[in-house]
Structure 1
Amino acid sequence: MAPRVVLVGPMGAGKTTVAGLLGEAWDLPVRDTDADVEAAEGRTISDIFVDDGEAHFRTLEAKAVADALASHDGVLALGGGAVLDPATRALLEGHEVVFLRVGLSEAVKRVGLGAGRPLLLGGVRARIKALLDERTPVYESVAAHVVETDARSPEDVAAEVRERLS
């Protein structure tokens, strides 16, 4: 059992939204590992970061991703930082991974002031730029496909993903 597609990308790329559209189009279940972590912990990711720190969250996230990759046969959206874990990157090998690329300006517009996004405390634009600079090469390294999302509707992005995977 393996997901039909795994969506990766930074915050603001539209992973959760596009996953929902793909699940609807393919009549498949949708999972989001951020939601899995929150459900398992009974609290928000922001609360986990504040109470226990990023390292603890990353441990929970890696487990959620491993569980989903092993048991979910629908559409899977990973949290933006999930690919930073080398074990997670190894688990993604052989899966149909799509990187939803978003540029800095578009990401800032979509994310807004970062409410509920613990990695954005401080200057939102500068933090998003740093995250994009750090993570884009990693997203590219795990992805079989790269789909641009800037100035496109989620429906257009989902249509391109469906086309590429048909």
Structure 2
Amino acid sequence: MSPRVVLVGAPGAGKSTVGRLLAGRLRVAFRDTDADVEATAGKPVGDIFVEDGEERFRELEAQAVRQALAEHDGVLSLGGGAVLAEATRELLAGHPVVYLEVGLSQAVQRVGLASARPLLVLNPRSQLKKLMDARRPIYEGLATLTVATDERDPDEVVEEIVKGIES
């Protein structure tokens, strides 16, 4: 069993929104590894970071990704930082990985500066830029397809993904 599509990208790229629409379009299930982590931990991602630390969150995240890649055959959305783990990058080899590319201004609008996202607590715009700059080469290296999401309706993004994975 293997996901039909794996979505990666920075916070605000639209992984959840596009993922749900894409799953509907492809008539498959949608799964989000952040939701899996929250279900395992019994608390929101932000609380895991605060109470247990980022290291524990990353352990749970890596476990969630490994499990989802092994048992999910629909659209899979990974948390933005899941690709930081080398083991996860190795597991993604051979899977159809779609990088949802987003610019800083769009990401800020979508995420919001008063976000509850734990890695964006102090100076969210600056933190988001650093995060995006550091992760962009990883996303690009994993991607079998890159789709820009700036100033685009999610349905347009889904259409481009469908064309890209079916060609």
On whether the aligned pair clears a TM of 0.5, the verdict is yes
Computed over aligned residues only, the root mean square deviation of the Cα atoms, in angstroms, reads 0.6
TM-score, with structure 1 as normaliser: 0.98
Equivalenced residues, count: 166
1:15-36: CA deviation from partner (whole Å, max 9, x where unpaired): 0011100111111000000000
- In the alignment, the residues of structure 2 paired with residue 32 and residue 129 of structure 1 have an alpha-carbon distance, to the nearest angstrom, of 23
SS of the residue corresponding to residue 113 of structure 2 reads coil
* Structure 1: gaps of 5 or more residues: none
- In the alignment, the residues of structure 1 paired with residue 162 and residue 116 of structure 2 have an alpha-carbon distance, to the nearest angstrom, of 30
CA pair 71-102 structure 1, distance change in 2 beyond 3 A: same
Letter in 1 for 2:2: A
Determine whether 1:81 maps to 2:81: yes
Q: Percent identity?
A: 57
- In the alignment, the residues of structure 2 paired with residue 114 and residue 90 of structure 1 have an alpha-carbon distance, to the nearest angstrom, of 34
- In the alignment, the residues of structure 2 paired with residue 37 and residue 108 of structure 1 have an alpha-carbon distance, to the nearest angstrom, of 24
1:69-122: CA deviation from partner (whole Å, max 9, x where unpaired): 000000000000000000000000000000000001111111112422000001
SS of the residue corresponding to residue 7 of structure 1 reads strand
Letter in 1 for 2:129: K
- In the alignment, the residues of structure 1 paired with residue 114 and residue 146 of structure 2 have an alpha-carbon distance, to the nearest angstrom, of 25
Tell me the residue number matched to 1:21. 21
- In the alignment, the residues of structure 1 paired with residue 89 and residue 2 of structure 2 have an alpha-carbon distance, to the nearest angstrom, of 15
Tell me the residue number matched to 1:12. 12
Tell me the residue number matched to 2:91. 91
TM-score, with structure 2 as normaliser: 0.98
- In the alignment, the residues of structure 1 paired with residue 79 and residue 60 of structure 2 have an alpha-carbon distance, to the nearest angstrom, of 11
Letter in 2 for 1:160: E
Tell me the residue number matched to 1:144. 144
Tell me the residue number matched to 1:46. 46
* Structure 2: gaps of 5 or more residues: none
Q: What is the correspondence of 1:120-135 to structure 2 with a 5 Å cutoff?
A: 120-135=120-135
Ranges of 4+ aligned residues in structure 1 off by more than 3 Å: none
Tell me the residue number matched to 2:164. 164
